[in-house]
Amino acid sequence: MYIVGNLQSLAKCASKSGRELWSNMKLVLERNNHCLDYFPAVCEKHKTLHKIRSPEDFVKFAPEGGCALRCTLMLDCGHQCPKRCHGHIQYVHSIVRCKEKVKDVCSNGHKQLRECYSTVKCTQQMK
């Protein structure tokens, strides 16, 4: 269980029963070194620990919900996922447009370079 907030303020709440509860809770947590100044976020896939201290840290350390490392899984096309780690969320791969450059030939026989997800379009003029 995580309690996010200011224990000093909670221990000084308006009701007597609330003050007793939070003062006792604060004492137990501090005595057992369970008070942290960060939220420990662990990437399930890479087991990396990030100490989240602000909302901006989520964007910095876990931009896709996993961690800041590159995803190591392969897309259906056979190229590596270009996104940052997104944990164990597999459906992401079905909506990723692979932008890896691939060689192809259009219906007119012209060699072209295209993004993997796109279909080949002839850009050369016919004579």
| Confidence (pLDDT) at 125 | 63
Can you tell me whether residue 113 is helix, strand or coil? strand
In 10 A of CB 71, how many CB atoms? 22
**Which pLDDT value is given to residue 126?**
55
What are the average pLDDT values for consecutive 10-residue runs of the chain, which has 127 residues? 83 90 92 91 88 90 85 89 80 83 86 86 66
- What is the model's pLDDT at position 63? 83
Model pLDDT, residue 88: 67
Strand partners for 101: 115
Q: 20: helix, coil or strand? A: helix
**CA pair distance 107, 119, nearest whole angstrom:** 11
